[in-house]
């Protein structure tokens, strides 16, 4: 019987380690998803800004431009 008890103890230890590892991985995935969501928001803002800038071209007055030799 001691062999069976040792095997059961080993299985319980392995299960405990797996539960711990699973919790750590879950936390990493949660943080990564939060970062992905933040990056998606930032990309959307930048995309909107790019569209705004390309739709409303800057009006330049040639008289305000300095010649190349300045």
Residue 55 token pair: 């739709």
Q: By C-alpha distance, which of 39, 36, 58 is closest to 47?
A: 39
pLDDT in tens, 14-62: 999 999 999 999 999 999 999 999 999 999 999 999 888 887 666 777 7
Write the DSSP symbol of residue 68. T
Domain boundaries, given as residue ranges, for the chain: 22-53
Residue 57: what pLDDT? 64
Q: What is the pTM of this model?
A: 0.61
**pLDDT above 60 (res 13):** yes
Element housing 7 (H / E) = helix 2-55
Place of tokens 């001691």: 2
**pLDDT above 60 (res 70):** no
């Amino acid at each position: 019987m001691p062999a069976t008890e040792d095997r059961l103890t080993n299985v319980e230890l392995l299960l405990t380690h797996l539960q711990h590892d699973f919790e750590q991985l879950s936390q990493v995935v949660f943080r990564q998803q939060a970062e992905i969501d933040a990056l998606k928001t930032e990309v959307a803002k930048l995309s909107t800004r790019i569209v705004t800038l390309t739709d409303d071209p800057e009006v330049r007055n040639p008289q305000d431009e300095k010649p190349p030799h300045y």
